[in-house]
Amino acid sequence: MKKSIHPNYNYVIFKDSSTEFSVLTKSTKTSGETASWEDGNTYPVVNMEISSASHPFYTGTQKLMDSEGRIEKFRKKYQVK
């Protein structure tokens, strides 16, 4: 690999702002905010808006679409028989 053309790849804490869920992983992202992890070391923190702890698909709160009602509404609107 060529020197000085690749970004730094270090440990980063990704934190979900809505559920306070955090995960420590490696990434090229950086941040000025830092936090202490369970191992006692300090790592940069990258805030996320959504994660598997708050996403409706993974939490089981996903709403099902009323596709039959939508089809009838379309037919009434355009009078398709």
SS (H, E, C) the chain: CCCCCCCCCEEEEEEECCCCCEEEEEECCCCCCEEECCCCCEEEEEEECCCCCCCHHHHCCCCCCCHHHHHHHHHHHHCCC
Per-residue pLDDT of the chain (81 residues; tens, 9 = 90+): 688 888 889 999 999 888 888 989 999 998 899 999 999 999 999 988 777 777 666 666 766 666 667 778 888 888 865
Pairing verdict, β 22-27 and 34-36: unpaired
What pTM was computed for the model? 0.64
Give the separation between CA 43 and CA 13, rounded to whole angstroms.
6
On whether the CB atoms of residues 50 and 18 are closer than 8 A, the answer is yes
